[in-house]
Chains A and B, each alone.
Chain A
Amino acid sequence: MTTALEIRSLRKQFGDVHAVAGLDLAVATGECFGLLGPNGAGKTTTIEICEGLLEPDSGEVEVLGMRWATNERELRQKLGIALQETQLAEKLTVLETVMLFRSFYAQGRPANEVIGLVQLEEKAGARVGTLSGGQKQRLALACALVGDPKLLFLDEPTTGLDPQSRRQLWDLIERFKEEGRTVVLTTHYMDEAERLCERVAIVDHGKVIALDTPAALISSLGGDQVITFTLEEPQAELSYDDLRAIEGVTGVRRETASYELTAKELRKTVPAVLSFLEKRGAKLAELRTHSATLEDVFVNLTGRHLRDA
């Protein structure tokens, strides 16, 4: 396994804020790697240091076996980058924009081919200013792909898009992956990370707090099912130990008004929970179950949700 990107004890401070506080990562060639974390976790700072757009305060970054200080020219030729919120020139057409970006690279794909790849053929002659949000993101992706990159950096590629546009973009990224290229993306959507990434690093306060495949991260919860229930009289306290003792329960968390239990098999654990509550004389207001997600992993690790962290 060769390494496409390696980061060692990376640090970056803005004023008093430690945006990146000692971060280590290694991304294998051909892998789609996700940095998952809430806004302000340091994902963008990290990825922009990897892209050579920011200088780290300390630490080492090796991209495709090269360093920014010595191989900037070569690296620029080999990377595809989509920044968070770039506004491309509104007066240019889609084709003109892609041709402009193509002209910067010594080798690459023809502009028309890339436009076809991101399904913007019909909009090739349209001004960038007239595109929808999703179309603009696909154009940004086309500009990142036109240099035929070995490594693609995507910073929040689907933030602010409607569900259909997000799914369209996911398909495109998956197709790029199938060609055996490396993708590093940041996101605060756990479903995006689960769907696209072979491995995910959960980032919080500038540090990696967990790193594994999505499946392994979820199974680290001890069970891949989550039972959430609320009582009619929320003041009635249930003890952590009592809940933990219920058959099949692998984890317990208390939210403000509800309890969250992780379990392996709902079939056994749900009836056990119900009979436990009945014995206690606690009246159930609501009970829901769902398959565990990376969101639950994040909540379990930090006690906060991705969205409002």
Chain B
Amino acid sequence: MRDSLKQLVLTRFREFVREPEALFWTLAFPILLTVGLGIAFRNKPVEIVHVAVVGRPVTAGVVLTSLRASKALAVDSLEPDAAALALRTGRIALVVKAEPDGSVTYEFDDTRPDARSARFLADDAIQRGAGRRDRIAIEETQVRERGSRYIDFVVPGLLGMGLMGNGIWGIGFSIVDARRKRLLKRLMATPMSRTEYLGSFVVSRLVLLVFEVLVLVGFSAVAFGVPVRGSLLQLGLICGLGAFAFGSLGLLIAARPRTIEGASGLMNLTMMPMWILSGVFFSAENFPKVIQPIVQALPLTAVNNALRANMLRGDGLSVIGPEILVIAAWGVVCFVLALKLFRWR
């Protein structure tokens, strides 16, 4: 590598590493976000449902015995008033009234999912206690598939969002700041090559990218078991191409503005629609059909779709070809436009 390019790339790294905030937002923040979302949306273990039995000891006793046989239920024997209060406040999901004639009455809020399942669990236990047998033999196999949980959905989205943010902010702010401080003009007064100057941003982005991707994907795999089913090489290609597309977009945004304020307005204007539309936190398919062509043409949608296809479904290039083309097209068009519009002084 030519010494000047080496020095420029070193400058990029030094500026990045010596800015603790940049380090935090690039590397630590995506992990914190992953942890937060992972905890909030974790798949919960089968929950125990609380129910109460009321009635005279003789009749209630039979019901209690039947209910206690079910592992999914926690059963209390309560006075009618106490049971009504517990139901109202949501401490229990169901009141089973043992009537003197041996029948039972269920009291519950049928709009609560846990109350509905409590009613069926309690009824099943009481009927079995009274001697009901299954007519058809059943067998259960429990399937808890990695790759279909919310955390599996959201990690590729966060990765895509990180590629976008770091590309646009990382490149855009440095360039506009250099222009504002007249450092760009000073550099133009030296024999420095413009290609190498812009190239130094590309090289440093690609190197930092390796860390960003490894840290987030590695952490999600270890902490939450988020899978990477596709080829790692192709995952690298998607990330690299995505970084190029967003880096070019950052370059284009930074091509003209002279102030940080002007640039940051443009950056938010660019990123905001993609945060919402491109399927970071929920599927982009949820948006109406009319706007789908726009949604699908956004670079972040293409990156997110390609990442999910690779990581969750193990799809190869033959499947994600269209997404790859969309990402590459954004990169090339923005880069060419940026070079045309760039204000060097």
Question: Which A residues fall within an 8 A CB radius of B?
Answer: 51-53, 73, 76-77, 79, 81, 83, 85-89, 91-92, 96, 99-101, 103-106, 127, 143, 147
Q: Contact at B190–A76, with CB atoms within 8 Å?
A: yes
CA of A86 to CA of B4 in the docked complex: distance in angstroms? 20
Q: A92-B11, A100-B11, A104-B4 in contact; A85/B182 too (CB < 8 A)?
A: yes
B239 CB, min distance to chain A CBs, angstroms: 27
The total of interchain contacts (Cβ-Cβ below 8 angstroms) comes to: 66
A37 CB, min distance to chain B CBs, angstroms: 21
How big is the B interface, by class?
20 to 34
Contacting residues, chain B, for A101 (C-beta < 8 A): 190
CA of A91 to CA of B10 in the docked complex: distance in angstroms? 12
A86 CB, min distance to chain B CBs, angstroms: 4
Q: A104-B192, A105-B190, A147-B190 in contact; A96/B11 too (CB < 8 A)?
A: yes
Contacting residues, chain A, for B181 (C-beta < 8 A): 86-87
Q: Contact at A83–B186, with CB atoms within 8 Å?
A: yes
Q: Contact at B191–A86, with CB atoms within 8 Å?
A: no
Closest A residue to B188 by beta carbon equals: A53
A117 CB, min distance to chain B CBs, angstroms: 18
Closest A residue to B181 by beta carbon equals: A87
- Contact mask for chain B residues 1-36; partner A; CB cutoff 8 A; 1 contact, 0 none: 001101110110011001100000000000000000
Q: Contact at B3–A103, with CB atoms within 8 Å?
A: yes
Q: A83-B185, A100-B7, A100-B8 in contact; A92/B14 too (CB < 8 A)?
A: yes
- 14 sampled A-B residue pairs with Cβ under 8 A: A51-B189, A52-B189, A53-B189, A76-B191, A77-B191, A83-B185, A86-B182, A87-B183, A92-B14, A96-B10, A104-B4, A104-B191, A104-B192, A147-B190
Q: Contact at A105–B14, with CB atoms within 8 Å?
A: no
Contacting residues, chain A, for B183 (C-beta < 8 A): 86-89
Contacting residues, chain A, for B256 (C-beta < 8 A): none
Contacting residues, chain A, for B14 (C-beta < 8 A): 91-92, 96
Q: Could you say which of A91, A106, A143 has the most chain B C-beta atoms within 10 Å of its C-beta?
A: A91
Check if B343 is an interface residue, CB within 8 A of chain A: no
Contacting residues, chain A, for B18 (C-beta < 8 A): 91, 127
Check if B345 is an interface residue, CB within 8 A of chain A: yes
Contacting residues, chain A, for B188 (C-beta < 8 A): 53
Closest CB pairs A-B (n = 5): A87-B181, A76-B191, A103-B7, A103-B4, A81-B189
Q: Contact at A73–B182, with CB atoms within 8 Å?
A: no
CA of A127 to CA of B14 in the docked complex: distance in angstroms? 11
B193 CB, min distance to chain A CBs, angstroms: 8
